[in-house]
Amino acid sequence: MAFPIDSAAVVHGIQLAVAPVFLLTAVSGMIGAVAGRLARIIDRARLVEDRARATEDAAALDRHARELEQLRLRGRLANGCIALLTSCAFLIGLTIIVLFLGETSALQVTRWALGGFLAGVVAFLLALLCFLAETVLATRLLDFQVTRR
């Protein structure tokens, strides 16, 4: 059964979908930033692993093990952040589709659109918390007690 297409409804559907698209832009920017941080975490972990393999000093091995544990936690937080951001983007994309279908057809999808959008925003907020935790851990690794020679 074909539905007649009302051009005014299509235009209104596109207008409704514009706001969630801005959120998608923010999410894609954050995914890029977090993916960059994850790459640096991986590079640092490889360097620390190589140093740990090359030394026999117990104190150095202990320092390397502690740093690798911190890097592992940071990597998990970054991965969780990317997973939440991807979920957010998926939910917002579904919201856009639902809004458009609801506007251009007789389907009653308002609750689905609201639920998808709110779930996407919650995923975005949780991703921000993961990002904050990862950056706090990253700055805790800094040693400001090193003296100049």
1, part of any domain: no
Quote the Cα angle for 29-139-79, to 5°.
45
5 occurs within a structural domain = no
Q: Is residue 144 part of a domain?
A: no
46-58 pLDDT, tens digit per residue, is 999 999 999 999 9
d(Cα 12, Cα 108) in Å, to the nearest integer? 16
88-121 pLDDT per residue, tens: 999 999 988 888 888 777 778 888 888 999 999 9
**Contact 74/137 with Cβ under 8 angstroms?**
yes
> Is residue 87 included in any domain, yes or no?
yes
Q: Is the pLDDT of residue 11 over 80?
A: no
What is the mean predicted confidence (pLDDT) over 36-42?
A: 97
Going 134 to 140 to 141 to 142, the CA torsion angle's sign is: positive
Question: Encoding tokens for residue 104?
Answer: 């251009």
- Lowest mean pLDDT across 70-79, 94-103, 132-141: 94-103
Q: What is the pLDDT of residue 111?
A: 87
Split into its structural domains, the chain has a count of: 1
> Are the CB atoms for 48 and 74 separated by under 8 Å?
no
Alpha helix segments (H runs only) across the chain = 7-54, 58-104, 110-140
Residue 2 maps to a domain:
no
Q: Is residue 97 part of a domain?
A: yes
In a domain, 82, yes or no: yes
- For residue 140, name the pLDDT band (cuts at 50, 70, 90): confident
Q: What percent of the chain has pLDDT over 90?
A: 60
What percent of the chain has pLDDT above 70? Answer: 85
Which residues span the domain enclosing 124? 18-139
Q: Is residue 8 part of a domain?
A: no
Residue 138's pLDDT is what? 92
